[in-house]
Amino acid sequence: MENLGYYNGKFGPIEEMAIPMNDRVCWFGDGVYDAGPARNYNIFALDDHLDRFYNSARLTGIQIPMPREELAELLRDLVKKVEAPEHFVYYQCTRGTAPRKHDYVEAPGNLWVTITPQTMPDGTKRIKLRSEPDTRFYHCNIKTLNLMPAVMSSQAAKREGVFETVYYRENMGNRVTECAHSNVSMILNDELWTAPLDELILPGIARKHLIAAAKRLGIGVHEEPFDLDTLRGAQEIIVTSSSNLCLFAEEFEGKPAGGGSPEVAEALRAEVNREFTEATAI
């Protein structure tokens, strides 16, 4: 099978799958999700991703229709059905199926899974970034399906020929939060700086593993707020996500960026990729 879709116990090629129109995702985007890479049929950092998935469900009152370990086993089984050396494993739970109404009946939700071929980049190619004010909601720590602001920012980045959009809060002294679909960190004075975990950013799994890599290497770590001007002057700007574990910027807001701490940058890139390669080995 080239790819796989799963919905409440039924699975097949994604193009052949269908869902009820009354799934609340159709009306309200009412659901939570998580996702991560797999290699050699080993799902990377699955425990971390499931922790976040079940926490997002808890914070929104969504009932995932199976226990955590049962879902883990299901994902491990489904990924073996797709013919590719590397995959992206995506899963979401919507609140359920019912006629359109804002309030809801508390009941187990609908579980979706998709598995598609996707190769993890090694992070050697640098990227370009743009910025814009962060006008999203104050529940960025919950991985919900309501991603319209991220869609709009990602399309703006595509139009400008850059990789990502860096968000900042104008009403908080231009505090940098995260990107449209990634976390953003920086190297300053040869140490790693990243925004603190609060309601303004998603607790990224790749961000977590980047911090762990820095600590293993003896690199100082600061989980503290920083503003846009500080990011502009950073030695390196780092973008992390489950699709791109560790990328470095060569351009930010149309100006050259990065290259100010090549030894630290390469050490971090190599350590993050080492962990991924060893954790997903045959």
Indicate the length of the chain as a whole number: 282
CA distance 179 to 193: 15
pLDDT tens, residue by residue, 228-263 = 999 999 999 999 999 999 999 999 999 999 999 999
Q: Note the pLDDT of residue 203.
A: 98
Confidence grade of residue 46 (pLDDT, cut at 50, 70, 90): very high
Q: Note the pLDDT of residue 227.
A: 98
Q: Note the pLDDT of residue 166.
A: 98
Q: Note the pLDDT of residue 239.
A: 98
Q: Note the pLDDT of residue 257.
A: 98
CA distance 162 to 154: 9
pLDDT tens, residue by residue, 149-167 = 999 999 999 999 999 999 9
Q: Note the pLDDT of residue 51.
A: 98
Confidence grade of residue 52 (pLDDT, cut at 50, 70, 90): very high
Rounded to an integer, the average pLDDT of 38-56 is 98
CA distances from 11 to 72, 109, 137, 261 (A): 16, 17, 34, 47
Q: Note the pLDDT of residue 214.
A: 98
Confidence grade of residue 168 (pLDDT, cut at 50, 70, 90): very high
Q: Which sign does the torsion angle of CA 100, 104, 107, 112 carry?
A: positive
Confidence grade of residue 54 (pLDDT, cut at 50, 70, 90): very high
Q: Note the pLDDT of residue 209.
A: 98
Confidence grade of residue 132 (pLDDT, cut at 50, 70, 90): very high
Rounded to an integer, the average pLDDT of 138-152 is 94
The set of catalytic residues is 143
